[in-house]
Chains A and B, each alone.
Chain A
Amino acid sequence: MTLTWPIIIAVAAVLLAPLVGGLLRGLDRKLTARMQGRLGPPLTQPFYDFGKLVGKSRSVSSRASIAWVWSYFLLTLTAFALFFLGQDLLVVFFILAFAGGALAFGALSARSPYARFGANRELLQMLSYEPILLLAAVAIYFQTGGFTVYSVFEANQPLLPFLPLVFVAVLVALGIKMRKSPFDIAASEHAHQELVRGVYTEYSGPHLALIELTHWYELVLLMAFLALFWVQPLWVGVLIAFAAYFLELWIDNIAARLRWSWMLGASWGVGIGFIVANLVLLSVLL
């Protein structure tokens, strides 16, 4: 392949992702409100929140956390760009894991019990979903013969009919990565505050805005990964990703929070179990 098109796509994705991610978050808040019988904020609310946070005065508990926030943002951006360049999924997930770690280390560098609890739980969340994402990449390798995003596009059939259980496992990982109930363990959502804001407690103002921006990139990246399960043609995959997003919001609204040990059990048991079962079935049946 020539390198021109992937670069154009990646640049376009990096530029458009904040818009798409912000609108997705707005849709999230709107739909959540509707499910609760409320009207909800406008669709553009995340952008207002972002703008307001940028305009707040800077106050940090620890200067190291600024470095960690920026590395969280830049590492996620790197993973994002690599994905849209059609590069290796394993590398994307490894960089994403280090980015998640940076968020937790930033919280740990402030002397706050709430941030500390949140950071520990964030690391536990990563422990839960990382094996799923990595094994999903392995499953994609078994199906397409390559670890790259490009190889998925090269394959002549969609992945989902062959890897349905892997998709279910990835949905579990999506729930944890989106920090939604029942997995909003590290940074309790706004109304439930026994952890204050967990891993985000010590971040404020522009740094919190940067974290929010990174979440938008993360969200678009995860949606793109879900869409990868059906890229012949691509619009089916996009529809599947949106359906998965809606399912996640629905689960968020009907589920209470799990304890971290339950999360670990569920994600390792269901997630890894499903992926292994899928690979075994695939090798037996085909």
Chain B
Amino acid sequence: MGFLKRARVKSPWILHYCTGGCNGCDIEILACLTPLYDVERFGMLNIGNPKHADVLMITGPVNWKNREVLQRLYAQTPDPKVVIAVGACAATGGVFHNCVNTLGGVDKVIPVDVYVRGCAARPEAIIDGVVLALQKLEEKRSGGVAHAAGAR
């Protein structure tokens, strides 16, 4: 149905979780909600409940402590869903690269659809990332791409 598909793109609810970064990216994510960027224009809401979320926005390199939490959040989010790894840490581990306590990126634990670069990622880049993620969300509906190439 056309309306349901359109509604999916027009109403992404975002769950934001930090897996142990420096909180720089988290501040930038929250900056997207302010009057300057106002992502609610596009129907985006910052939601605190994985069961209501469509987009998982993950920052930080993921450490051994919160690996399970991340897996659980992913499992609790109903399909269709997309995962955005925000910032250098979430993509590759960033400044925490090769630290013994970290896993070095969100894609070591859950499949990632979109990577947003930057340290910290700029709000404009984050919004671009969400737009890209929404295109993938639309494809998922029609049974297209399951997750990004290179994701584990």
- Which residues of chain B are near A161, meaning CB under 8 Å? none
Task: Report B73 CB to chain A, min CB distance, Å.
Answer: 12
Q: Which residues of A contact B41 (CB under 8 A)?
A: 38-41
A29: chain B residues at CB < 8 Å are 40
Size band of the interface chain B makes with A: 20 to 34
A47 touches B78 (CB 8 A): no
- Which of these, A33, A49, A59, A193, contacts B78 with CB under 8 Å? A59
Q: Mark B78-91, 1 if CB is under 8 A from A, else 0.
A: 11100000000000
* Contacts of B47-73 to chain A: CB distance below 8 A: 47-49, 51-52, 54
Cβ contact within 8 Å between A38 and B7: no
CB distance from A54 to the nearest CB of B (A): 6
Question: B51 and A52: CB pair below 8 A?
Answer: no
The answer, yes or no, to whether A36 is at the interface (CB within 8 Å) is yes
Of the candidates A49, A203, A208, the one whose C-beta lies within 8 Å of that of B11 is: A49
**Is B11 touching A193 in the complex (CB atoms < 8 A)?**
no
CA distance A205 to B38 in the complex (A): 25
Would A55 and B4 count as touching, CB distance under 8 A? yes
Number of residues of chain A lying within 8 A (CB) of chain B:
34
Q: Is the CB of A204 within 8 A of B10?
A: no
Chain A residues whose C-beta falls within 8 Å of the C-beta of B5 in the assembled complex:
55
In the complex formed, the residue of B with least CB distance to A112 is B51
Q: Find out whether the CB atom of B43 lies under 8 angstroms from the CB atom of A48.
A: yes
Chain A residue numbers with a CB within 8 Å of B51 are 59, 201-204
Contact status A48-B7, CB under 8 Å:
yes
- Indicate if B45 sits at the interface (CB-CB under 8 A): yes
Q: Which of A17-60 contact B (CB under 8 A)?
A: 29, 33, 36-42, 45, 47-52, 54-59
Q: Which of B4, B8, B40, B54 sits near A40, CB closer than 8 Å?
A: B40
B35, chain A: closest CB distance, angstroms: 4
- A–B pairs, 17, beta carbons within 8 Å: A29-B40, A40-B40, A40-B41, A48-B6, A48-B10, A52-B10, A54-B7, A56-B54, A56-B78, A57-B80, A58-B78, A59-B51, A190-B47, A193-B48, A197-B49, A201-B51, A202-B51
A residues apposed to B, CB below 8 Å: 29, 33, 36-42, 45, 47-52, 54-59, 190-191, 193, 196-197, 200-205, 208
Instruction: List the interface of chain B (C-beta within 8 A of A).
Output: 3-8, 10-11, 33, 35, 38, 40-43, 45-49, 51-52, 54, 78-80, 141
Given contacts A49-B11, A197-B47, 18 further A-B contacts (CB under 8 A): A33-B38, A39-B41, A41-B42, A48-B6, A48-B10, A49-B7, A51-B7, A51-B8, A52-B4, A54-B4, A55-B4, A56-B79, A58-B78, A190-B46, A190-B47, A197-B49, A201-B49, A204-B78
